[in-house]
Chains A and B, each alone.
Chain A
Amino acid sequence: MKKMEIIIADEGMYLTNGKTHGSWHKLAEGESADNFREITKEEYEEILRIEENEQTEV
């Protein structure tokens, strides 16, 4: 039997492990829910804004 772990953030919140962010995650085998922390929508949007500003030099 194989298990699949899905973690879901509370309403209006997000979960991030520093690398991937969202409100719903199907975890890879070996990934732990303990690596995820809950963040607010504002924190999530700030993370996206920072990532988008890290552009490759043209």
Chain B
Amino acid sequence: MTLEQNVREVNSAFVAIKDKIVECGVEVAEGTHARDYANKVGEVFNEGKKSQYDEFWDNYQDYGNRTHYYNAFSLYGWTENTYKPKYDIKPTSATNMYWGAPLKKISYGNVKIDFSKCPTLNQMFQGANQIGVANVDVDVDCSSATEISQTFSYNPMLVSIKKLIVHEALTYKNVFSGSGYIEELQVEGIIGQDGFSIASTKLNRASIVSIINALSSTASGKAVGLSKTAINTAFETASGKKDGSTSAEWLALVATKPNWTISLAP
């Protein structure tokens, strides 16, 4: 082969490499020297990864149109390495949605998660085999639900619920049963029905106040349940005294809801 033929071969190869790089979605600016094509290999790889990410989540979330999220992120396969939703999540069906998922949190990037259109949120963050979501760091809006059942139950990993938005007609069934390590729970709205009972001994003072303040001022014959251990700690009169249930602050707080029976269990 002559020198001229060799040069033509090499140039032809460079063009083919450039075309293939561009075909893979990576830009090659005019005038880019062929030696710099090697630097583009990493970008091609990343573009491949992104296209695999896009392909999975475009389909799994139906290009953002998915609303039926029953069991969508349940059990062991969903970890920080796999739970990377692309589209906003606005389910109209969310039963078991994060059931037994070993996630530290459920927020992801800029993805908005909105439960306000779910008529049921049963078992949504329930644990399975002692595994479950640790921090529900988005609002759990129960506006469209009439009852919530076992939503946060049997989950010993669960320590924080950013905000539970309730309404006066909402009923509660074993919502927090078996989840004994919840420290934070902010309640917004009005608790108007029986069944709101949280036995976690770790519940902090702000959370307890939030729950009592949310109790309806007009409901009649209703009861709410809390942990006496949590009250004794949260309202203790001096560090270590564990006497909160007899403290003036606690008694003043419960006195603000004369229409409620407030029950404490160990």
User: Which A residues fall within an 8 A CB radius of B?
Assistant: 2, 4, 14, 17, 19-31, 44, 48, 51-52, 54-56, 58
Q: Is the CB of B228 within 8 A of A58?
A: no
Q: Is the CB of B122 within 8 A of A56?
A: yes
Instruction: State in angstroms the CA–CA spacing of A30 and B221 once bound together.
Output: 8
Q: Is the CB of A58 within 8 A of B96?
A: yes
Instruction: State in angstroms the CA–CA spacing of A23 and B226 once bound together.
Output: 11
Query: If A23-B264, A55-B150, A56-B173 touch, does A29 touch B259 (CB 8 Å cutoff)?
Result: yes
Closest 7 CB pairs of A and B: A20-B223, A22-B263, A56-B149, A22-B265, A24-B264, A28-B261, A26-B262
Residues of chain B within 8 A (CB-CB) of A23 are 228, 264-266
Query: If A4-B254, A52-B174 touch, does A28 touch B264 (CB 8 Å cutoff)?
Result: no
Which residue of the partner chain, among B174, B194, B261, contacts A27 with CB atoms under 8 Å? B261
Instruction: State in angstroms the CA–CA spacing of A44 and B242 once bound together.
Output: 23
Instruction: State in angstroms the CA–CA spacing of A22 and B177 once bound together.
Output: 15
Interface positions, chain B 210-266, Cβ under 8 Å from A, are 220-223, 225, 228, 245, 251, 254-255, 258-266
Instruction: State in angstroms the CA–CA spacing of A52 and B142 once bound together.
Output: 21
| A41 nearest CB neighbor, chain B only | B266
User: Which B residues fall within an 8 A CB radius of A?
Assistant: 95-96, 122-123, 147, 149-150, 173-174, 177-178, 194, 220-223, 225, 228, 245, 251, 254-255, 258-266
Q: Is the CB of A58 within 8 A of B221?
A: no
Query: If A20-B225, A22-B228 touch, does A4 touch B251 (CB 8 Å cutoff)?
Result: yes
Instruction: State in angstroms the CA–CA spacing of A58 and B124 once bound together.
Output: 11
Smallest Cβ distance from A16 to chain B, in angstroms?
Answer: 9
Q: Is the CB of B194 within 8 A of A58?
A: no
Which residue of the partner chain, among B147, B261, B266, contacts A20 with CB atoms under 8 Å? B261
| B71 nearest CB neighbor, chain A only | A58
Residues of chain A within 8 A (CB-CB) of B261 are 17, 20, 25-28, 31
Q: Is the CB of B258 within 8 A of A2?
A: yes
Residues of chain A within 8 A (CB-CB) of B263 are 20-22, 24-26
Residues of chain A within 8 A (CB-CB) of B255 are 2, 4
Residues of chain B within 8 A (CB-CB) of A17 are 261
Residues of chain A within 8 A (CB-CB) of B251 are 4
Smallest Cβ distance from A35 to chain B, in angstroms?
Answer: 10
